Structure 1
Amino acid sequence: MKSKTPKLRELVDGVSSYYIIGNIVILSPKKRDIDKEKLVKAIMQINPRVKAVYIKRKVSGELRISELELIGGEDISKTIFKENGLSFVVDIKKVYVNPSLGGEHNKVEEEVKESEKILDAFCGYGGIAMHASTVSKYVIAGDLNIEGLEMLRESLSLNRKKIHLIDIVQYDAHNLPFREKSFDKVYADNPTMVLEFLNELCRVTREELIIYILSTKGGISKIPAYKWLRVNDYSKDLFIFKGYIRCNNKNLSLTSLS
């Protein structure tokens, strides 16, 4: 009879879940005085392919970089992970990576059309852009983080048979280098800062701006989206919401929100 693989919480108190990104594990223990050596040993017992284990302290800065502490294994941060059949090159110390968004990225493929021009405005390592490009023949991926864009460039070479061409552009999203109404759909995955970019994002959007925002349930009522979906729970009162805004509405004013 095959033995049952134990769950992490059965081996180490105070830890119930973690992310596996390629051959790297990232977790956020509930207890500060966690036995790190025991924790690493337990994770590698459950997942023998894991080469490094990190504790995430917080995400901060304009580029949303995670503050990480290596607690065991090799001192590596660059890896390749797979999501919905696509392969991504990522460096967890240089871009924000959240594997729990795999289902959300898969929905992007269902939303976009082959003929639509798509902008992934805060692309990071290219999660939304690459999923969109499995359908759309015109995708631009942009970000301020040049290192994230280089990771995306590497990822493109791993997925040539699965995606269309993606144009990669570095910019500051406060001043997007595109003409008005250049894109049919714009995706803006920058949950903590997206409000300050709304006017500029809507300027380049012909039909639909899709934003992700960290907010309370009441907080989103001030934003002129015609539809809201709850994507993730962040804490007891904070959630990641996905909002759909019609930027082709001439009466839409976002000035007071930016």
Structure 2
Amino acid sequence: MSDLPKSIIQEKTESFIMFPKILLHEHDYEGRDLDICHLAIIKSLANNFTKTAITSINDLMTVMGINPKNKEASQKARESIIRLQAMYYITVYADRPKTKTVTDLKPAQTYFIKPTKENEDYFVKVFETDIEIIVTMQSKHKSKLFIIYMAIVSHLYYYHDASMEHKSVWATIETLAEITGLDRRTVMKYIKLLHEAEVLFCITTKVHAKKNKNFYGRYKHKEMITREAMQGTETLQNCKFEDIKPVVGGV
């Protein structure tokens, strides 16, 4: 019988993708959040025996909750896929055998997109259940939701010995705003939405009614995150455990 918490045992059975962490820390350029979201979706679609995503730009836009008839948005989506290929994160093929690469992309055309191993030696483990929830959320700003999610889970580390793992991340709103290139209010708004959608679990600890730290992690580990947040605050503030008040969902 394993002594590991139930949520860790369950997580070990989940399917995930390896997302190159360096893309999250690239200099902030217009469209970076869209690139990150597109690459995650493509890697998830390609997580099969062919290792290939069969999709179109219109399909990706539909998944993102954007009307493919929106010409401006369609152009941005097209440019995003072209950028990802230029950065060697994907290769776009016109044919199933993957012999004909293509760069002149047409929105309605179905392509065979194969993710590369570029920069996967330094990766974020992103679970497909989280990707699925985010892309099905009722929001037209899924790329912003996703980059905030990535900024948080990129601080999680996984070990061969799962008993060594911590499931909480401590980060300030200012730090997350700097990583994502979003303003403070937007970061707080979307963290709240991710918490409500049960993708991320957020808890704020207070000592003597004074806000102290925000702790985050995958929602499925909420019991572990709560315990780690309380223990972490006790150590950081040199206070008594009973003086700490946890506020779930606070940012």
Q: Same fold (TM over 0.5)?
A: no
Which structure's residues are more often strand, by fraction? Answer: 1
Highest RCO, 1 vs 2 (Cα 8 Å, sep ≥ 6): 2
TM range (shorter): under 0.3
